[in-house]
Structure 1
Amino acid sequence: MPKKGGKHAEMGKEMQAQCKRAKVEVACSPSVMSFENPDSLFGSLISPIKQETFFREYWEQKPLLVQRSDPLLAAYYQSLFHLSDLKDLCSQGLYYGRDINICRCVNGKKKVLNKEGKVNYMQLKKDFDQKKATIQFHQPQRFKEELWKIQEKLECYFGSLVGSNVYITPQGSQGLPPHYDDVEPGDLLYFPRGTIHQADTPLGISSSTHVTISTYQNNSWGDFLLDAIPGLVFDTAKEDVALRTSIPRQLLMQVDIADSTKKLSHLLRRLADRLENTSELRSSDMKKDFIMNRLPPCLGCDADPLTPGGKLPKIDSKIRLQFRDHAIITVEPDQENSDEIRREMVYVYHSLKNRRETHMMGTEDDTSEEGMSQTHGLRFPLSYLDALKQIWSSSSVNVKELNLISDEEKENLALSLWTECLIEVI
């Protein structure tokens, strides 16, 4: 995601003035990151700006520069990534293009200085020192646990993928020309999508390292409508005969379809009326893409892999949902039934078994059978939907009170969720 480049442009004086107006200097010492929950993490990231103020005045509107003088906080940010970290990482096997780009801004244009194949640290350091090249390291959260912790919580907070890049630039150099990104980057400096910006390292400073954390790519209302409208049309057409009538003869062969647009406008209004009356606009593909590609929970280096633990759920057990932010419920046509009449099923997807090592890397396996297996979850009859909603909406629930007909169904549902580490018995 943050690997994608931006468009070349000039940074105007208005942009610089706007950034200065949004500058906030902080005399007091803010708290270092709070990982208690996603909300507290984001609050500590933008402190002392309040979340309400941030989303009302800055989000998707204007840049924000928060300068803080707390030495503990400065030391924390400096610890997130160092040039020296790359020495050990290169020995683990990093590749040009996939993991690292070497680049310089020459006459206002980006010049890529990548070699072929694996990255050699000595050559990397030579390009950095002698060619004054910027090192761009993709998705450091794959290797740095603290960034994993931050980005996992931010993915929970935003409900969107969160990627990152590290940029290390030697003194008196600039790696990228003025550009803008089609994502929402921000650390201490927040940029809305499309903000033109550039960064260089002034003389007198050996090098600069900054981390960009980005989110909300392909997560607009337009993206959501493209994902959800087909399902709305399918459901409406089953009940509204107007959507099942034939299109005009030879419509697909015509250049001018002005007469037919009136009919389409009428049908779209019928869809809008149905949406207002049912309040249903289900997203399936976007939900699955998010869950399938996001970070797994950060449990610490010493934590054991997630396995079912504690008591097995029985009919008289009391259960509660675990990892609420890492699981979703969707209603979709049965993926295992190839008959013409495709019944709807309930799917529970989760990210507990996702691989941190491939996060945001867009691997070639994404479209393969192996890539599809990365979607982890469970499949239930549609009759289980109300019981699943009970578990998701309650702090705890008794298995015998689940909205299912038989005790066997209730126990089977609880056991299935327990096996995937999604519930625990209390």
Structure 2
Amino acid sequence: MPKKGGKHTEVGKEMQAQCKRAKVEAACSPSLMSYESPESLFGSLISPIKEEMFFREYWEQKPLLVQRNDPLLAAYYQSLFQFSDLKELCCQGLYYGRDVNICRCVNGKKKVLNKEGKVSYMQLKKDFDQKKATVQFHQPQRFKVFILQLEGEKHWRLYKPTVHLAREYNVESEDRIGSPTHEFILKPGDLLYFPRGTIHQADTPLGISRSTHVTISTYQNNSWGDFLLDAIPGLVFDTAKEEVVLRTSIPRQLLMQVDIADSTKKLSSILRMLADRLENTRKLRSSDMKKDFIMNRLPPCLGNDSNSLTPGGKLPKLDSKIRLQFRDHAIITVEPDQENADEIRKEMVYVYHSLKNRRETHMMGAEDDAASEEGTSQQTHGLRFPLSYLDALKQIWSNTIVCVKELHLISDEEKENLALALWTECLIEVI
């Protein structure tokens, strides 16, 4: 085991002071988890830390420990799920590997104890109680919105993130990691946040028979690098239409050369030209990241009506006033026509949304790929319009309420057709 990290750094001291304040405030105001909306859920998750303070002082900057040691708050995250709830879920059909992993740490290495096929609750409980195995429950949000209860204590160590360590995926010895920068004992009701890239390790302290925690990963694949990989191809494509230099041939035999140092100067000048163009136009298209985000997003949380999202209310007419709903679940992109395989494809407007995404396949990756052969995979849902519809769509997205006849389209028929198409997909409502 790594040695204890000794005294915390100044960041740690500030964090400890904040944690003490958080614990006192929490004890005075025993709030419970709120599932009324995504905003209220996140607010209660980090309570008593306010959302504004969290993103200003902690988000991707430094760790945050919120302690709720008060007996009244020990079950703060118990809410809707406990270990015993796995019994009911096993009856619904959980599978080893896909839904649950049973594993142990043997001589410093992970050993998987999975059986074949469906998970047996009795076998799962036996592995948990007798073999002291770890039960990993994958993507629990597929079944219900919940926060897992912390049972017992857990000892966390955080290590200073570096480029070298971030690439060290298969660490053979803990000595290569170095000493931890922070160490925490998490008790029931506690919350620990640490920024992206933080190397961490969790242990059950001596004398504690078991511990349970939930790991919530957010904002994956949303770095500036990811965004550039998505947006730069569009910038190059658009610029090549106007700049001859991007349409000239690369030097002969360039692709066969080992050393292309002579060509880097030319590439550098092209990149500077692209940067200048971006600075002047301020237009950078991103389509793939937007589609991926929407395709993998959970559908709106509608409470008891979550499975009955269908068009309702009055049909939109020319004189109707309409309003966009589920704004955070729909995006607009401009892309080459996907239904036209010609070499020269005109641009079209696409509206993608997550209203029809399936909770039961959320973030299951390869499972979705396998299901695609049966036609049941989660896919991108949306609508396709001519480029002339872009201004009208922006009008709907930027206004609280808009009259159909005031949409920026030439004919009344186009205005009604646009409104009807969005209404059919449950993206707008008639006021």
Q: TM above 0.5, one fold?
A: yes
Partners of 1:90 and 1:121 within 8 A in 2: yes
Change (3 A) 1:350 1:396: same
Structure 1 unaligned residues grouped into runs of 5+: 1-8, 148-165
Question: Is it true that 1:378 corresponds to 2:388 in the alignment?
Answer: no
Deviation of 1:198 after TM superposition, in Å, equals 2.5
> Aligned equivalents of 1:385 and 1:139: distance in 2?
37
Match of 2:85 in 1: 85
**Structure 1 residues 112 and 176: alpha-carbon distance in aligned structure 2, compared to 1, 3 A threshold:** farther
Tell me the distance in 2 between the aligned counterparts of 1:179 and 1:96: 34
Q: Matches of 2:61 and 2:119 in 1, distance apart?
A: 39
The residue aligned with 2:211 is 208
State the partner residue of 2:201: 198
1:10-409 matches, cutoff 5 A: 13=5, 21-23=14-16, 24-25=19-20, 26-28=23-25, 29=29, 31-34=31-34, 38-69=38-69, 74-146=74-146, 188-202=191-205, 205-366=208-369, 368=372, 370=375, 374-409=379-414
Deviations 1:75-107 (A, max 9, x none): 341124211111111111111111111112233
Q: Whole-Å Cα distance in 2 between the matches of residues 56 and 363 of structure 1?
A: 36
| Matched AA of 1:406 | S
The aligned residue for residue 418 of structure 2 is 413
Alpha carbons 2:357, 2:378 under 8 Å: kept: no
Structure 2: runs of 5+ lacking an equivalent: 167-185
What is the deviation of 1:201? 3.2
Cα pair 2:227 2:286 within 8 Å, conserved:
yes
How many residue pairs get matched?
396
The residue aligned with 2:429 is: 424
Q: CA deviation at 1:212?
A: 1.4
Q: Distance in 2 between matches of 1:57 and 1:380?
A: 43
Judge which range, 272-281 or 22-31, deviates more.
22-31
**Which amino acid letter does the alignment assign opposite residue 98 of structure 1?**
R
1:152 maps to none
Code of the residue aligned with 1:27 in structure 2: it is V
Q: CA deviation at 1:208?
A: 2.4
1:36-69 C-alpha deviation (Å, 9 max, x unpaired): 6544443332223233432333222221101135
Distance change (3 Å), C-alpha of 1:126 and 1:80: same
Identity %: 80
CA distance in 2, matches of 1:303, 1:72: 32
Amino acid at match of 2:386: P
Aligned-pair RMSD on alpha carbons?
A: 3.1
Work out whether residues 128 and 135 of structure 1, in 8 Å CA contact, stay in contact via their aligned partners in 2: yes
Compute the TM-score of the two structures, normalised by the length of structure 2: 0.83
Kindly provide the amino acid, as one letter, of the partner of residue 63 in structure 1. Answer: P
Q: Pick closer, same or farther for the CA change 1:359–1:118 going to 2, 3 Å.
A: same
- Tell me if the contact between 2:33 and 2:45 (Cα under 8 Å) persists in the aligned partners: yes
- Cα distance in 2, alignment partners of residues 384 and 412 from structure 1: 11
Amino acid at match of 2:427: L
Counterparts of 1:254 and 1:300, CA distance in 2: 61
Deviation of the 1:303 alpha carbon: 4.8
TM-score (norm 1): 0.84
